[in-house]
Amino acid sequence: MYAPKVGDRLESLDTPSMIVDLDIMESNIRKLMDLLQPLGVNIRPHLKTTKSPVLAKKLIAAGAKGGCVAKLSEGEVMAAAGVDDILITCEIIGAVKVRRLVELFRKHRKIQIVVDSEVGATAINAALEEAGIEERIQVLIDLDVGLQRTGVAPELALGLARHVATLGRLKLIGVQGYEGHLQHVHGREERERECRASMAILTGTAALLKENGFDIQVVTTGGTGTAEFCATTPGITEVQPGSFIFMDSDYRNAVGSYFSHSLTVLSTVISKSTSARRVTIDAGLKTLTTDSGFAEAKGMEGVTYTPMGDEHGWLEWGEDGSDIPIGTRVEMIPSHIDPTVNLHDFYYAYRNGVIEEIWPVATRGKVQ
């Protein structure tokens, strides 16, 4: 039975396989810590990128403070694996999900959540009371700083904070504001300018809450494209970068190559097209996502990739390009790392061509 193991060479892997260059990944982690730690903010990486408790623990060992997850189901997996200093960054709405939150908090008291409505806050409080849990769960108000996806409007934050203060099982500790619409803005000056404007909304609201007697300890924000700007904004206490650890072509095109591509998808040329300048690889829509554009063939200048269905993709080149023989192994750089990782079961982490670690994508499919 096919069963890759530590110590095997990359050549032994079947394709497509998701592979990670450990030297590059570790360099990316060091670069992030070197960049942000001297600025005095906490680094709480967003684990929706890696979907792996193993990698969460590596990040914590490197200096991160816990982690973020997008969904409750991700938090359940992380906490069960011993990563329980977790902020769930999406609102928890609906009776089924609230019950799951109560059971998670019963076992793991470091869990933090966000709310952006009185409805959501009240339901969580009622469920905790009904369960007989006396300890208060730590809550952040999710603030809309321009993304217009989730988050309470800034002018309504004080009213929501006052409502949360009336609930006996919720403890307001901070505010969250994610400027996701700015992560891939091309041009450093424009990205910084727009980020500073969003940060003014976030820190201004935090200051308003403090002025009204609320103990705001955490002001959390940021992603790979903006974390440096967020961390140098007075009043920000925590940043949430995620994609830096692996990087993808979309982020690279926007923010440059300070972080390098440590993750690629190994594929194979399986067929020669009738076209003289085109071959087919075994990596299609079930292997590489396309929401941020198409993947790139690593180290193949002038070669373009086009998905050709679930299981196949074309590599094409111009008149000056060289033929790519059937059987050639090609590393593909994803255009959007997070959903691409979610398509795979395992990472094969290697050094000098030898598999050193194999990590399950433990929260794959955890979208609830």
Would you state the pLDDT for residue 319? 82
| Closest CA relative to residue 260, chosen from 20, 28, 11, 21 | 28
- 322 has a pLDDT exceeding 90: no
Q: Using an 8 Å Cβ cutoff, are 263 and 334 in contact?
A: yes
User: What is this structure's pTM?
Assistant: 0.97
- CA trace torsion 116, 121, 122, 123 (10° rounding): 110
Torsion of CA 330, 336, 339, 341, to 10 degrees: 40
Asked whether the predicted pLDDT for residue 274 surpasses 90, the reply is no
Average pLDDT in the 249-258 region? Answer: 97
Q: Which fold has domain 22-245?
A: TIM Barrel (3.20.20)
Query: What pLDDT shows up at residue 276?
Result: 84
State the DSSP H helix or E strand holding residue 86, giving kind and residue range, or none if neither: strand 86-88
pLDDT band per the 50, 70, 90 thresholds, residue 256: very high
Q: What is the CA radius of gyration of the chain?
A: 22
pLDDT of residue 185: 97
CA distance 46 to 86: 10
Say whether pLDDT at 148 is over 90: yes
Q: What angle do CA 289, 292, 296 make, to 5 degrees?
A: 70
Residue 134, CA distances (Å) to 42, 106, 125, 128, 259 in order? 28, 10, 11, 8, 44
Q: Which candidate, 49, 116, 44, places its Cα nearest to that of 83?
A: 44
Taking the domains of the chain in order of start, what are their residue ranges? Answer: 22-245
Tens digit of pLDDT for each residue in 8-64? 999 999 999 999 999 999 999 999 999 999 999 999 999 999 999 999 999 999 999
d(CA 351, CA 368): 35
CA nearest 121: which of 105, 140, 107, 134?
A: 140
Better pLDDT: 93 or 319: 93
Tens of pLDDT along 50-85?
Answer: 999 999 999 999 999 999 999 999 999 999 999 999
Mean pLDDT over residues 259-286, rounded?
A: 95
Q: Mind listing the pLDDT tens digit for each residue in 205-226?
A: 999 999 999 999 999 999 999 9
Q: Tell whether the model's pLDDT for residue 321 goes beyond 90.
A: no
Q: What is the pLDDT of residue 14?
A: 98
